[in-house]
Amino acid sequence: MNTFSHIPANVISLAQRIAAAENKPLFPPLDKTAFQAAAKPLFFADQLNPFEHIGANPSWFEVPENIGRLIYRTDNGAPLSIVGDKYAIVQNSDLQATVAEAAEAALPRHALQDIELKEFTSKGGKYTRFEYTFPALGADIRQLNGNSTQLKFRIGIVNGFGGSSIRGFAGAYDLVCTNGLILGEFETSAYRHTKGFNPLKLGAFLEAEAAKYLERVHVWQAWARKEITAEQAESTLEAAGMSGKRVKSMMQQFEAEAQTRGATVWALYSALTYYSSHNSEAFSVRNSGAVDNVAATLDKREREVASIIRTEAFQRLAA
């Protein structure tokens, strides 16, 4: 996949020359999530029903800021949410700079080559997510059947404009399958959108997660060697709180993963991460044909999977 397919070649070439001249890594610039958000006041009419008198021109009064303000996109004027007076907008461009600085500080020089960008939005941009992956910081996991699967490190940000916090995450992608399974025991760092938000804390979190990457690889490798039965996998999912219908679908996915990976903890984890990274026939996102909700729903599934991984039942299975 060409990471820069949406950006003019002359712009990329200039960015590459500048990065090379300054001996700095090139982080692809944001595109889909690069829009700016701003706030403006709300108003209400002096009539309970403005349509009661056709042709009437009601007077409009400003809503006090402590009751609510409108957050909107400056590129297309689309409304995103209504927030209170303590809400502070944090732009994705500022978060991107924090992520880039953290990665440059934490990762070895050889890892900062051919960096790739992935971006996702939901609800017209109310939910945004961007992440950088590092192909040069790869790792091989030897699976029970003898085949290897390759991982690459990633870090990123979830940022919402109203109704959500800012979260940093770290993990990896599994590259053996075209479905691009999302891996990683996601440690998240959540911050509210307030005037006291300090991006340096987010940078410190990302640096710490980058340092833990090799530790994570050793854990995943152990999972890939730990053989389990279908009965153990099913009872673990049930003990972790998964419902009966979802367990049935997950066990079908586990069987599919076990065919290529071996019947292991790793295969069970891959089944879970398939669920958290795909709007598929097996795990469809409800009403996604009518509502822009896929990215936000998959993010929610990721957090659900992270909770399952932390349960005593799963940890006992993986030990």
pLDDT of residue 121: 96
Higher pLDDT, 144 or 15: 144
Cβ atoms 167, 110 nearer than 8 A? no
Which letter, b or e, does each residue of 136-160 get, where b requires 16 or more Cβ atoms within 10 Å of its Cβ? ebebebebbeeeebebbbbbbbbbb
Closest Cα to residue 157, out of 99, 109, 240, 100? 99
The pLDDT, as a whole number, for residue 76 is: 96
Find out whether 91 and 157 touch, Cβ atoms under 8 Å: no
- Confirm if 268 and 254 have CB atoms less than 8 A apart: yes
Average the pLDDT over each of 65-69, 138-142, 194-198, 303-307 and give the range with the smallest value.
194-198
pLDDT at site 8? 53
Q: Note the pLDDT of residue 184.
A: 46
Check residue 3 and give its pLDDT.
43
> Tokens 């910081």 appear where?
137
From the number of C-beta atoms within 10 Å of its C-beta (0-12, 13-18, 19+), residue 296 rates as buried
Q: What band does 317 get if pLDDT is binned at 50, 70 and 90?
A: very high
Mean pLDDT of the chain: 84
**pLDDT tens-digit readout, 21-70:** 566 789 999 999 999 999 999 998 776 565 565 556 777 888 999 899 99
What pTM did the predictor assign?
0.83
Task: Calculate what percentage of the chain has a pLDDT beyond 70.
Answer: 84
> What's the pLDDT tens digit per position in 225-234?
999 999 999 9
pLDDT tens-digit map of 178-188:
344 444 445 56
Q: Model confidence at 308, in pLDDT bands (50, 70, 90)?
A: very high
Pick the residue with more confidence: 83 or 20?
83
User: Residue 205: pLDDT band by 50, 70, 90 thresholds?
Assistant: confident
Quote the crossing angle between the two packed helices 230-239 and 244-261, to the nearest 10°: 140
Q: What is the mean pLDDT of residues 204-233?
A: 89
Over residues 123-128, the mean pLDDT reads 96
Cα–Cα distance, 86 to 199 (Å, whole number): 18
What does the H/E/C string look like for 232-295?
A: HHHHHHHHCCCCHHHHHHHHHHHHHHHHHHCCEHHHHHHHHHHHHHCCCCCCCCCCCCCCCCHH
